[in-house]
Amino acid sequence: MKIGLVGFAGSGKTTVFNAMTGLDVPVGFGGEVRLGTVKVPDARIDRLSELFSPKKTTFAEMRFCDIPGEHGADHKGLSPRALQQIRDQEALCLVLRDFENPLLAEPPDPAGDLDAFSAECIFADLEIIEKRLERARKEGAEAVEIAAFEKAGATLESEHPLRSLSPAELNRDFFRGYGLLTDRPLLVVLNRAEERAAEELPEALSTQIEAAGAGGLALSALVESEIADLDPSDQAAFLADLGISESALARFIRAAYALLDLIAFFTVGPDEVRAWTIRRGTNARTASGRIHSDLERGFIRAEVIPYETFIHHKSESAVKEAGLFQVEGKEYIVSDGDILHVRFNV
């Protein structure tokens, strides 16, 4: 999964990036677009790894892309370069500043920044949709296609993001490859001053985030980036001192999985124990394509053991003896925690 960190200049994107990835990119204004990868912690993988003692243990990954804000302009906005970068991401994480930044004259205004960001994205999408609509009309496109563009245009004009439309309301087949910003899943991070690190999202902002069809969480990036620098054994105590029960990374990953409706399935064996990420509702054949395209192409069947069942019986043969071994076809919908063994022939 690829998540782009976006937001206005000096909101703390690079600090969030450092906190999540454990990297140490210099903060301050501007800089380059940066990529970083995070392992998705999963206690089930730890446990399976203990049982199999494989040569290799591989966690699911989340990729972060830190996109600098625009500086020096007289308006607070997103540069065309930033917009281009954003279009490339699977999901967006908007970082809102809620701390005094000595480099910026204005006091923090997270609610105003969220509105401004939403407005910019809506405007950018509307520009694309209007152009496409005009072309579709000129080329005499089919009525369903024109209707889809009209629906999208009207939604944006009424200042609603496209993500607010259900699949029944908007046929997205016509929008593939356009990189529409307001159709991307959005996670909003309220970046707090250290002394308010443990406070939850304020009610009014929560409502505003919900209205944008987004998910949200509050954290203090500065605190979290300091935690990331500590020895893992010291991290819990440091968090507890601040009244924080769980690191922002864990909360962030959970929020992102919920927002994107992601689940994990596992493959196990003496060579590798590994987690794979898929959308909820994915069938066994498509899921096997995550592992290798040959498995999807030559799919015969999937042998499935739910994680809890495996942990209870501790071996494949014990699961079989208990009559709990599942043999499933390509339409089987994979569940969170399924251990999959794909039989295939190419």
Ligand X SMILES: Nc1nc2c(ncn2[C@@H]2O[C@H](COP(=O)(O)OP(=O)(O)OP(=O)(O)O)[C@@H](O)[C@H]2O)c(=O)[nH]1
Contacts of ligand X in 84-103 (CB under 6 A)? 99, 101
The yes or no reply on residue 284 touching ligand X (CB under 6 A) is no
The yes or no reply on residue 68 touching Mg ion (CB under 5 A) is yes
Look at residue 251 and give its three-state secondary structure: helix
User: Looking at beta carbons only, is 14 or 225 nearer to Mg ion?
Assistant: 14
d(CA 312, CA 187): 36
- Indicate the residue whose CB is closest to Mg ion: 14
Tokens of 157: 């004009």
Contacts of ligand X in 169-198 (CB under 6 A)? 191-194
The yes or no reply on residue 14 touching Mg ion (CB under 5 A) is yes
* Least distance between ligand X and beta carbon 6 (Å): 9
The yes or no reply on residue 15 touching ligand X (CB under 6 A) is yes
Contacts 24+ apart (CB under 8 A), 284-290: 284/328, 284/329, 284/330, 284/331, 284/332, 284/333, 284/334, 284/340, 284/342, 285/330, 285/331, 287/334, 287/340, 288/340, 288/342, 288/344
User: Looking at beta carbons only, is 68 or 337 nearer to ligand X?
Assistant: 68
Which of 51-59, 60-68, 103-111, 292-300 is the region at the interface with Mg ion (rule: CB under 5 A)? 60-68
Of the candidates 1, 11, 208, 228, which one interacts with ligand X according to CB under 6 A? Answer: 11
Provide the strand spans (E) within 59-200: 61-66, 91-98, 186-192
The yes or no reply on residue 18 touching Mg ion (CB under 5 A) is no
DSSP string computed for 133-170: HHHHHHTT--HHHHHHHHHHHHHHHTT--GGGS-TTT-
Look at residue 201 and give its three-state secondary structure: coil
The yes or no reply on residue 191 touching Mg ion (CB under 5 A) is no
- Per the DSSP assignment, residues forming a β-bridge with 36 are 64
* Least distance between ligand X and beta carbon 220 (Å): 4
* Sites of contact with ligand X (CB under 6 A): 7, 9-15, 27-31, 68-69, 99, 101, 191-194, 220-222
Binding region for Mg ion (CB under 5 A): 13-14, 68
